[in-house]
Amino acid sequence: MVVPKASPTPPATVSTIPQSVPASKSQTASQNAPNSSDTKDAAKQKGKGKDPKTSAPPADDDDESSKPYVIGSLDVLQITVWNDTKLSAVYGVGPDGFISMPLLGQIKADGLTTEKLIAVLKEKLVASVMNDPEVNVQILKINSKKYSILGGCNRNGEFPLTGSTTVMEAFANCGGFKDFSNKKKIYILRGDRKLLFNYEDVRQGKHMEQNRHIRNGDIIYVPE
């Protein structure tokens, strides 16, 4: 009896699919790192339209006219004492800051609000000639608060600061600009600070934060 030969076993098939090799840390960091050009573009977009000179109005730009007026030297006051024609009169504050009243003598008014001066007068009247006096104080003329305009304007000098006044409103007193004045480089000297003001921009409604309220002692300079 002939026994059939067994068929040869086929060789095992070896997979040729490549195995994934984990990336090194340096390769991962390189892949995740942002493109430098993308970073620059993002920075430009973030800062686009922003100008350090056009920020919100400064916190120190408060309108001093909203605060109680403080009497100063050379101001003129109307003092009324009810039922007393001798004391009721117009008084000028002297350069030393005092007013002189009949019966009461020298009274310091400089540095006081009208309410505080009323309290001082009442106290002195009660102590000398009158019980429960009624007193009223009004500012007739402001001479102690001023600002200056210098440089390329037709009228330079000091101007009275009689109420709430912005830089643009202050220029109404300067008689116009000279032909070669640089209206884009105007500045305000306030103590040791230099505040920039571009007249042309503000006139067109731009950078309105530069249109500050004028303060006593401000100097506005217009370059030529």
CATH number of the domain enclosing 110: 3.30.1950.10
CATH code, 154: 3.10.560.10
Chosen domain end from 107, 141, 175: 141
Token couple for 99: 């007013």
Measured distance CA(33)–CA(27) in Å, rounded: 10
DSSP state string for 155-172: S-EEEE--S--BHHHHGG
Task: Summarize the confidence of residues 64-82 as an average pLDDT.
Answer: 89
Measure Cα distances from 126 to 20, 81, 88, 99, 104 in Å.
102, 12, 16, 18, 11
**What is the per-residue pLDDT for 64?**
63
pLDDT at 91 over 60: yes
Same structural domain, 160 and 216: yes
- Whether the predicted pLDDT of 15 surpasses 60: no
Domain residue limits at 115: 76-141
The tokens 């350090």 sit on which residue? 52
Q: How far apart are CA 71 and CA 117, in angstroms?
A: 9
Q: Express each pLDDT in 181-221 by its tens digit.
A: 999 999 999 999 999 999 999 999 999 999 999 999 999 99
Dist. CA 71–CA 159, nearest whole Å: 17
Query: What is the end-to-end Cα distance of the chain in Å, rounded?
Result: 129
Is 188 found in the same domain as 149?
yes
Average pLDDT, the chain: 80
**173 Cβ neighbours under 8 A, 6+ residues apart:** 149, 155, 159
Q: Classify residue 154 by its DSSP letter.
A: S
Instruction: Kindly state the helix (H) or strand (E) to which residue 37 belongs, with its residue range.
Output: helix 36-47
The answer to whether residue 69 is domain-embedded is: no
Residue 2 has pLDDT above 50, yes or no: no
Sheet with 219-222, edge to edge strand ranges: 157-160, 146-151, 219-222, 186-190, 193-197
- Residue at a domain's end among 141, 162, 185: 141
Do 84 and 136 fall within a single domain? yes
40-54, 108-122, 146-160, 179-193: least confidently modelled range: 40-54
Contact status, residue 140 vs residue 160, Cβ threshold 8 Å:
no
135 and 162 assigned to the same domain: no
CB 103 within 8 A of CB 87: yes
Number of domains in the chain: 2
Most confident range (mean pLDDT) of 5-14, 46-55, 63-72 is: 63-72
